């Protein structure tokens, strides 16, 4: 077997793309989207029919121009997600507007709306994960949604305090961003060796994985945002890994044996179980410059791409 197929034997592989053709080619279990990936898909002529459909659905309801643009992006996300769901056996992750990242009630409202929109297309909530930024407010929204039977994917996760708070809240899945953690360290320490197990993104996900398994948390760990296939190989055995089509292709082109690096049955954590309240969360984030900076940057970038997507939809 090639390395992609070997990886699928020990880890659930998730497609990190909005490209339906790529999903059909690589046959992942699940798929994830975000505003950046949606913007890329929206600029592809083969999805023009979805943009037109999203616009028609949004304009069918009265509202301000801003409200209609937001509805267009929501409809586009759900239409694209619905098509993707027909090509995978598992779940499609759909992201809440990043501009709501610090508003628990608005996040709850948007998540419920997305689930209702999916239901109208015949996609049940058991096939959808609502993606929410791992802010304190986002984690609190996810805690409520999980109790309502709406399962969540907590994204833009960079710090251990975020991971602990998500597990305490009982969220279904987290997406720690491996590559963006590496980016931060390489920018600040350009002379340092970050290969293999020295990669700080790999180390972060491995630490979270060991903590969850040692303390019997049910929250799924899904490594995300990879910069190279060595990072993926170093996390082989993680619950799930969401991988871009380009990196899946690289794995598919290698026939070398793939070694399992993470195993729930054979790992232990040096971190004691320690629930995180709001004060502790905010202090620990404050002490973690990388997590604070990358979370803020990620929210800004997703919000900017959301605005670009709305602009694109307004012009069709």
HSE toward the beta carbon, residue 316, CA cutoff 13 A: 23
DSSP string, 22-73: HHHHH--SEEE--HHHHHHHHTSGGGHHHHHHHHHHHHTS---HHHHHHHHH
Please count the residues of the chain: 316
Active site residue 131: yes
CA separation for the pair 43, 22 (Å, rounded): 16
CA separation for the pair 190, 293 (Å, rounded): 18
Take residue 222 and report the two structure tokens written for it: 């899904």
CA separation for the pair 78, 150 (Å, rounded): 15
The maximal CA–CA distance of the chain, rounded, in angstroms, is 58
Catalytic choice (55, 110, 131, 164): 131
CA separation for the pair 176, 134 (Å, rounded): 10
3-state secondary structure of 193: coil
CA separation for the pair 242, 298 (Å, rounded): 17
CA separation for the pair 28, 274 (Å, rounded): 35
- Who's near 259: CB < 8 A, 6+ residues apart? 233, 236
Is-contact 174 207, C-beta < 8 A? no
3-state secondary structure of 304: helix
The residues assigned a catalytic role are 131
């Amino acid at each position: 077997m090639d390395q992609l197929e070997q990886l699928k034997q020990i880890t659930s592989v998730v497609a990190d793309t909005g490209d339906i053709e790529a999903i059909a080619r690589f046959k992942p279990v699940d798929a994830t989207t975000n505003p950046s990936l949606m913007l890329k898909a929206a600029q592809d002529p083969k999805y023009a029919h979805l943009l037109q459909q999203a616009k028609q659905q949004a304009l069918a309801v009265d509202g301000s121009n801003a409200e209609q643009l937001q509805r267009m992006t929501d409809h586009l996300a759900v239409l694209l997600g619905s098509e993707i769901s027909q090509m995978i056996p598992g779940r499609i992750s759909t992201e809440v507007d990043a501009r709501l990242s610090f508003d628990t009630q608005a996040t709850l409202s948007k998540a419920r709306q997305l689930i209702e929109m999916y239901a109208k297309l015949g996609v049940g909530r058991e096939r959808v994960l609502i993606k929410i930024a791992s802010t304190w407010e986002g984690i609190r929204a996810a805690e409520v949604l999980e109790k309502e039977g709406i399962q969540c994917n907590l994204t833009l996760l960079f710090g251990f305090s975020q991971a602990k708070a998500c597990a305490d809240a009982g969220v279904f899945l987290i997406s720690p961003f491996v590559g963006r953690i590496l980016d931060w360290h390489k920018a600040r320490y350009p002379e340092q060796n970050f290969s293999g197990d020295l990669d700080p993104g790999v180390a972060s996900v491995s630490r979270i994985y060991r903590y969850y398994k040692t303390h019997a948390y049910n929250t799924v760990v899904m490594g995300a945002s990879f910069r190279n296939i060595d990072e993926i190989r170093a996390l082989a055995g993680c619950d799930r890994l969401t991988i871009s089509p380009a990196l899946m292709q690289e794995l598919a082109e290698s026939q070398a044996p793939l070694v399992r690096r993470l195993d729930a049955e054979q790992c232990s954590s040096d971190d004691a179980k320690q629930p995180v309240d709001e004060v502790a969360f905010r202090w620990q984030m404050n002490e973690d410059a990388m997590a604070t900076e990358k979370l803020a940057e990620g929210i800004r970038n997703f919000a900017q791409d959301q605005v670009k997507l709305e602009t694109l939809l307004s012009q069709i």
